[in-house]
Amino acid sequence: MSKVFIAGEIPSAASELLEKAGLDVEIFSGDELIGQEALKKGVADADFLITPLSTKVDEDVIDAAPKLKLIANFGAGFNNIDTEYAKEKGIPVANTPFVSATSTAEVTAGLIISLSHRIVEGDQVMRGPGFNGWAPLFFLGHELSGKTLGIIGMGQIGQQVAKRMHAFDMPILYTQRHQLPRNREVELGAKFVTKEELVKDSDIITLHIPDTPQTHHYLGEQEFKAMKKSALLINAARGAVIDELGLLKALQAQELAGAALDVYEKEPQVDDGFKQLQNVILTPHIGNATVEARNAMASIVANNCIAADSGNEIKYIVNK
């Protein structure tokens, strides 16, 4: 019987599918993230590894798993895994793309609305001193209608964000390596521009790009200085695609009007400086934290293990 080691608790739909297929399932269930030694011990006799994207799978882990036939990452990203070394060892690495797009786009839209209308700030006020009553100049935010949204990365998530925010009558700029087909641009109300144009002309900027050597600190001090002082920045992608310290300095210097962060450069740690700013929203990496998205991800990783065990096609391999 083939063994699947799951390096953290995930929706039970995965283990139910695996056990129904006749696979032996072992799940790490500690209160904290699995450590490297426990991970190496768990994969020592495993045929398949299912791992959350928060768990690092490096050369040492891979070398500790001589029987490993698949690493199934529970997440759309896969920068936590040494994919090249796995390829050298003949081990495919697969992720769970697409199913997170709706959830992450909805969270992004929520952060844009909340930051623009100061909703989180308002909640904090009402939980503290409260207010003296409605007044014409009290607690003013900004409407989204007519404001320009800049989307960095117009993949599945970026397009879902554009679709939602286009309904708010927001002109949309986007930048990425390749331009979308013209009919799709028209449908989304989106215009393809350079990175420099997007940074300079956007009222709100949201990132939806992976963390790669090419995208590391994609936005930094130079870009923050080029942005409008009234601009807002949203990051629900990966922490390292922005220079977090540079962003903090820009916010403290009032070079930007605000930011909403769902991911962090040294996650799960976040610089205490952000916690002191009222114009910053901080959420704990909840982009795809919905029952629907996580169940779909569980189904993908389980079915990929079942496919690999049966000699069938594995979906979404990232290190071919």
Measure the CA–CA gap between 238 and 3, rounded to whole angstroms: 32
What order of strands is seen across the sheet that includes strand 204-207? Answer: 190-192, 172-175, 149-152, 204-207, 232-235, 258-261, 280-282
Just list the catalytic residues.
Answer: 238, 267, 285
**Sign of the Cα pseudo-torsion (242, 244, 248, 249, in order):** negative
H helix intervals, the chain: 12-20, 36-43, 59-63, 83-88, 101-116, 119-127, 156-166, 182-188, 195-201, 221-226, 244-252, 272-275, 291-310
SS3 content of the chain, % helix, strand, coil (to 5): 40, 15, 45
29 burial class (0-12, 13-18, 19+ CB within 10 angstroms)?
exposed
Q: Which of 75, 119, 81 is nearest to 287 (CA)?
A: 75
